Amino acid sequence: MTRPVGAITRGTTGRNRLRRCDRWVVAAHGRRLRAAGRPLVVDLGYGASHVTTLELFTRLRRAVPGVEVVGIEIDPARVALARPYEREGLSFRLGGFELPVDRPPVLVRAFNVLRQYAEADAWRYWEVLCGRLAPDGVLVEGTCSENGRRAVWVGLSPGGPRTLTFSARFDAFERPSDLADRLPKTLIHRNVPGERIHAFLRDFDHAWAVSAPYGAHGARQRWLAAVRALAGSWPVYERPPLGGRKRWRLGELTLPWTAVAPPPPAP
């Protein structure tokens, strides 16, 4: 095979670190996976342990019994360590952004991979990965904290970014803008005055502050009130599968990428 495209990451991982994203994938894209003839999911850059790929496989199999999951890592040693855990429908391969699989995947999860790259490279690899997707495929690219209690991810189609999702445990932040350190590489340096993402986080903090009285009934009720207030001025998804009370109760919020999109990168 040709040399894998990309660079070796630190490989930090841990059990249940990506549970929030996995739960969202099942809710938002389970129907898409079930509709595919031979649904293939790729977990790109799973890290030093196979555990999060195995968890993704287990969670998806409950909702999509015929799904196949392939974990791809650029480090040969990590692939060798993972292969003893292969089973029917779950395999591990050496590779990178070129995605060495036998057919276009319906979904690619790439978490904590692009964080180490420059912003321009992150945009470029978005294009590369989107070009590898099935026609109705989805790329889920994001970043989470070491324990997975704060996470932000982008949902992309072959045509580019479509959604931005914030997800956090209610005891993992003091105000919503604390999640700014988990923004994807294409946004994290844009969190400055004059940029849309900065305005969104500022308004989210304000909605959180004015919803403080609901905190007497718990942080979940305060979050629900804050999201409802925010939806008055931002196009927050308010209906399933991307929005609505059921998603918000989990500490999630999803909005269209266009609401926070920065200017396109310079050529």
pLDDT at 267: 62
pLDDT at 263: 79
In the chain (267 residues long), the average pLDDT of successive 10-residue segments reads 79 88 97 95 95 98 97 96 97 97 97 93 96 97 96 98 98 98 96 97 98 97 98 97 97 98 75
Helix axes 196-210, 219-230, angle to 10 degrees: 130
CA distances 112 to 30, 59, 145, 261, Å, are 22, 20, 9, 20
pLDDT at 138: 98
Paired strand residues for 168: 150
pLDDT at 13: 83
Domains contained in the chain, CATH given = 1-170 (3.40.50.150), 190-256 (no CATH)
Secondary structure of residue 96 in the 3-state scheme: coil
pLDDT at 33: 97
pLDDT at 14: 83
pLDDT at 1: 54
pLDDT at 266: 64
Query: Is-contact 108 32, C-beta < 8 A?
Result: no
